[in-house]
């Protein structure tokens, strides 16, 4: 995990593993050079699990992720709210609940526009949440960036992290200067890993799906932007 900092994307390293991301975190020791960046799975990805059980799992998993990073490290989450039985599940609240339980403070909370303002959406809101937490790290005002990200960019699938959020995160991490590696324990098809490599950051991903891991190992930044549906 203590890979050296790189500035040339051609030198950035990537490792993607098949397995349980939480088990991997429990067996790993992340230093201050590692930033955890992820999106947690929706309740729809847990057949047979009740919404109540999933919301508990969700906040507990956020807490686990926040505890896994070094006190001077950061944990960043991208999530979009979902509806259940006609009521919204506020994932930003669930993320904050888990982070609070881990003793992590919110360094910033950004809104990612999913559609143009003024348009109606159904099932998913017109925005996503991008939130950054740390136990001890604090950032100066000089590292402030816009709180509203205008547009998704591209996505490899409906539950992927949008490229606009990944770009904002990696730009922020490069400006921190101490971060060399992005860790995603629920990496899916690897959007954040491909963007991290493009920004000269190393990437480590874990996912239960062998098919998604294969895609995450192969995904390149140029492919992501040019033809996300093929990723």
CATH number for the domain that contains residue 100? 3.40.50.150
Q: Measured in whole angstroms, how far is the alpha carbon of residue 42 from the centre of its chain? A: 14
Q: What is the pLDDT of residues 192-225, one digit of tens each?
A: 999 999 999 999 999 999 999 999 999 999 999 9
pTM more than 0.85: yes
Q: Would you say residue 2 lies in a domain? A: no
In degrees, to the nearest 5, what angle opens at C-alpha 230 toward C-alphas 229 and 231? Answer: 95
Q: Would you say residue 1 lies in a domain? A: no
Are 72 and 33 in contact by the 8 Å Cβ rule? The answer is no
Are 187 and 37 in contact by the 8 Å Cβ rule? The answer is no
| Separation in Å, CA 7 to CA 48, 184, 214 | 45, 20, 25
| Mean of the per-residue pLDDT values of the chain | 93
User: CA torsion 108→138→198→11, rounded to 10°?
Assistant: -160
Place of tokens 């979902």: 82
Number of domains in the chain: 1
Q: What is the DSSP track for 171-208? A: HHHHHHSS--EEEETT-TT-HHHHHHHHTT-EEEEEES
The predicted structure's pLDDT at residue 9 = 74
In degrees, to the nearest 5, what angle opens at C-alpha 110 toward C-alphas 106 and 113? Answer: 155
Share of the chain above pLDDT 70, in %: 97
Domain that holds residue 124: 9-230
Q: Where are the alpha helices (DSSP H) in 75-119?
A: 91-101
Q: What is the pLDDT of residues 67-102, one digit of tens each?
A: 999 999 999 999 999 998 889 999 999 999 999 999
């Amino acid at each position: 995990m203590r890979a050296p900092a790189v500035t040339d994307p051609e030198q950035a390293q990537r490792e993607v593993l098949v397995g349980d991301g939480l088990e991997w975190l429990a067996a790993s020791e992340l230093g201050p050079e590692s930033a955890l960046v992820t999106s947690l799975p929706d309740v729809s990805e847990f057949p047979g699990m009740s919404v109540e059980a999933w919301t508990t799992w969700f906040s507990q998993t956020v807490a686990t992720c926040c505890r896994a990073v070094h006190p001077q490290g950061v944990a960043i989450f991208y999530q979009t709210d979902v509806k259940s039985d006609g009521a919204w599940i506020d994932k930003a609240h669930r993320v904050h609940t888990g982070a609070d339980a881990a003793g992590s403070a919110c360094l910033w909370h950004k809104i990612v526009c999913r559609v143009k303002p003024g348009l109606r959406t159904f099932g998913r809101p017109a925005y996503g949440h991008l939130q950054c937490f740390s136990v001890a790290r604090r950032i100066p005002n000089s590292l402030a960036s816009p709180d509203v990200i205008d547009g998704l960019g591209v996505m490899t699938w409906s539950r992927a992290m949008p490229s606009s959020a990944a770009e904002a995160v990696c730009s922020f991490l490069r400006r921190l200067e101490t971060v060399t590696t992005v860790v995603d324990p629920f990496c899916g098809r690897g959007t954040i890993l491909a963007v991290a490599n493009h920004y000269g950051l190393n990437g480590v991903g874990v996912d239960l799906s062998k098919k998604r891991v294969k895609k995450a190992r192969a995904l390149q930044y140029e492919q992501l932007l040019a033809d996300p549906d093929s990723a």
